[in-house]
Chain A
């Protein structure tokens, strides 16, 4: 278990369940019948000049605008450091360059898509637009990409106290990436509804995408600030995960809210059920993947949702939250303090 003891003070969120740029984030009932949820993108023109926007892939524009909103809300002109997670990186530009390279037999190619295909494109663009010369890292480690970006921010904060660090995550889907994930048996081939996801009987989850960015400091900057108290990450199969989660909860409890990362898959649903029944019995449970779908950095979405004090399916005021997420056996356990 890692003591994080840092606060997120703002959030810029774009997801399949909407974005928090238009004012009614997660207020309407989510309804879909789909195997993949495309991000509901905001009107970017309010944030980026049209000429620049035209050159940006979905990953870049989602990341740039989510980060701008997070910076604006926190009154952060230039972050002291930028730490980003993305498992797949900039797929659209990668495929664009790859497709042309094959089609044109490696000849007469133009550089734009290649330039924007590198995994650090988003963090680089944010630094460029914000004039940020600070520490800048991009983590690409599957279902722990965002968590590693947070650990990096913690390490940076230890050596640079008082920093206001921009942390965040992006993931974009393309028709071919969804096809590849379906082929690998990682996401659904059939259409499902939110209640199917909540039912916990799926073989594969609904695929999601999105971006979420936050201001991260040692002291809360406002009333809404949310404290990330502790984090534990591990890779395990569902049968081995329970004990690790139990140990984590024993060190960090008691909790008055359990946020379950269940994506509706049968094999994980049972684990989340037993956490609720045995580790945090009687504690209210809420879920989020029926809203945003499953993707490697979905833990960034739920952090934003909790920063907004939104608890799907339940109501109330909560202080000590246990969040457990899992993406393809990459687990993260979080303790969060709300006030």
Chain B
């Protein structure tokens, strides 16, 4: 049974259009949160977002695809291109899968034509609605890159792309595939922004995850993928693993459709079972990339769950959502990339904008950039609506 090795990464978020640019922003403490410029919404001046500052045409140009695609597919293609193109030729003949996730599908296009469609379907161009489904997003990207051995789409709200990485690792371990591109994408849409706004969990200022005075989250957009390979694929491609996906677990909080249980039952199960799968003790973890959205509820439940699992010795931990915003279906993929870079470069990202210690937890997030660290094992959390909780563990090779 082969392990699933992370060989390369691909990412686009509000803090950078590729891995190097995102890393640079993380190192320099540059946030992506600001005023919406691409998204046209009633809330333009009131709700800050972490937007990729490229138009759909500019995104399409980067990979030579149609600008008529939904924005989520355009973001996905950019990140897949970065992760996959250096290995595409070398991996010829290997069984390759594409595991993507999203929550918004083609809603960014649909929401602009829905009213006209209801009044008179034929007044709307078919291309505006044809890729509305979440699965269509994955499919058009897979077709563009010629991946067909196994292509799937997962949608479990904010934990979606952690689950696609989990399934990809399982299929490589089971010998069902040699190569997998796994992660997810989500674009901004008025539908999502307004949905989160009705829940009253959006911060009207740049968010402050894990701060006692946190006010909510900022929505972000982007895409993040890891390129996974089996040992056989590593050999054929002459590739080297940066780390492995050593542990994963998915659990359900079974508490509320949109809120976490006060003690983070699902969070604890996900972290605990991921450790078990990896064969690690809590003390083996060097860094936790927290889900840390900045909402009162998430950070409290996650904070207590971390405290329960790690007791008196919580490792270095931080949320990177103050940089990227909450990228929803892309978050697990984006943060898998950050976790990989943490191991590769021996760095831990500061929990930006933190000011005040949370009263209900007894441990502190990392608030300054740490470099020169020996990071062997990183735990990455992704929790979401529907009680979906997933944790991944990445381990140095």
Chain A residues within 8 Å of B, Cβ to Cβ: 2, 82, 87-89, 95, 97-99, 101-103, 105-107, 109-111, 114-121, 123-125, 127-128, 130-142, 144-145, 148, 152, 155, 158-159, 176, 179-180, 182-184, 235
> Complex formed: what's the CA distance from A123 to B160 in Å?
13
The CA of A87 and the CA of B135, in the complex, are separated in Å by: 7
Q: Assess the A115–B199 pair: CB atoms within 8 A.
A: yes
Name the residue of chain B whose CB is nearest to the CB of A86.
B155
Chain B residue with Cβ nearest A123:
B386
Residues of B within 8 A of A111 (CB): 195, 198-199, 258
Q: How far is the CA of A139 from the CA of B187 in the complex (A)?
A: 19
- Quick one: given A128-B257, A138-B154, are A119 and B167 in contact (CB under 8 Å)? no
Contact present for B167 and A132 (CB under 8 Å): no
9 pairs of A and B residues whose beta carbons are closest in the complex: A124-B386, A114-B195, A119-B155, A111-B198, A106-B42, A120-B386, A142-B135, A136-B252, A127-B252
Q: Are B111 and A98 in contact (CB under 8 A)?
A: yes
Identify which of A87, A97, A137 contacts B250 (C-beta below 8 A). A137
B199's nearest neighbour on chain A, judged by CB, is: A111
With A87-B135, A130-B254 given, name 8 new contacts (CB 8 A): A89-B134, A101-B191, A111-B258, A119-B155, A123-B386, A134-B252, A141-B151, A176-B118
**Structural contact, A141 and B152, CB atoms closer than 8 A:** yes
From B135, B198, B249, B258, give the contact of A109 (CB < 8 A).
B198
Whether B3 sits at the interface, judged by CB under 8 Å, is no
CB distance from B162 to the nearest CB of A (A): 11
Contacts of A131 in B (CB 8 A): 254
Residues of A within 8 A of B386 (CB): 118, 120-121, 123-125, 127, 136, 138
- Given the complex of chains A and B, what is the CA–CA distance between A131 and B251 in angstroms? 12
Contacting residue for A144 out of B111, B134, B152, B167, CB 8 A:
B152
Are A137 and B111 closer than 8 Å at their CB atoms? no
Interface string of B148-160 (1 = CB under 8 A from A): 1001111111000
Q: Does B23 contact A (CB under 8 A)?
A: no
Closest chain B CB from A312 CB (angstroms): 29
Bin chain B's interface residue count. Answer: 35 or more
For A130, give the chain B residue with the smallest CB separation.
Answer: B254
Distance in angstroms from B146 CB to nearest chain A CB is 13
Known contacts A124-B388, A128-B254; decide if A137 and B269 are in contact (CB<8 Å): no
The stretch of B68-76, B168-176, B302-310 that contacts the partner chain: B168-176
CB neighbours (8 Å) of B103 from chain A are 118-119
| Bound CA span A89–B134, Å | 9
Q: Smallest distance from the beta carbon of B106 to chain A beta carbons, Å?
A: 11
A119 to B126: give the CA distance in the assembly, Å: 23
Task: Give complex CA distance A138, B102 in Å.
Answer: 11
Judging by beta carbons under 8 Å apart, are A115 and B385 in contact?
A: yes
State A132–B250 Cα separation when bound (angstroms).
12
Complex contact A139–B152 (CB within 8 A): yes
The residues in B between 288 and 334 inclusive whose CB is less than 8 angstroms from any CB of A are: none
Task: Determine whether the beta carbon of A106 is less than 8 Å from that of B157.
Answer: no
Once the chains are docked, how many angstroms separate the CA of A119 from the CA of B198?
Answer: 18
A167 shortest CB reach to chain B, Å: 15
Q: How far is the CA of A22 from the CA of B194 in the complex (A)?
A: 41
Give min CB distance, B130 to chain A, whole Å: 6
Determine the distance from Cα of A179 to Cα of B174 in the docked complex, in whole angstroms: 42
Q: Within 8 Å CB of A144, what residues of B?
A: 152
Are the CB atoms of B41 and A124 closer together than 8 Å? no
The listed residue with most B CB atoms (<10 A of its CB), out of A2, A131, A152, is A152
A142 to B257, CA, bound (A): 24
Q: Point out the residues of chain A lying under 8 angstroms from B132, CB to CB.
A: 180
Pairwise interchain contact A133-B251, C-beta atoms closer than 8 A:
yes
Across the interface, B258 reaches (CB within 8 A) one of A115, A140, A152, namely: A115
CB-defined contacts of B258 to chain A, threshold 8 Å: 111, 115
Say whether B126 contacts A184, CB under 8 Å. yes
Contact B133 A114 (CB under 8 A): no
Q: B87 contacts the other chain (Cβ, under 8 Å)?
A: no
Within 8 A of A (CB), among B113-164: 114-115, 117-118, 121-122, 126, 129-130, 132-136, 138-139, 148, 151-157, 163
Asked whether, in the complex, the Cβ of B42 is within 8 Å of the Cβ of A105, the reply is yes
- A89, B41: Cβ atoms closer than 8 Å: no
A296 shortest CB reach to chain B, Å: 8
Is there an interface contact between B43 and A139, defined as CB atoms closer than 8 Å?
Answer: no
The complex places the Cα of A26 from the Cα of B163 at a distance, in Å, of: 37
Rounded to whole angstroms, the CA-CA distance of A168 and B117 in the bound complex is 31
Which B residues lie within 8 Å of A106 (CB)?
Answer: 41-43, 190, 194
Pick the contact of A120: B129, B136, B155 (CB < 8 A). Answer: B155
The residue on B at minimum CB distance from A106 is B42
Complex contact A148–B152 (CB within 8 A): yes
Which residues from B are CB-within-8-Å of A145? 135
The answer to whether A136 and B153 touch (CB under 8 A), given A114-B195, A115-B258, A116-B257, is no
The B73-128 residues at the A interface (CB cut-off 8 A) are: 103, 107, 110-111, 114-115, 117-118, 121-122, 126
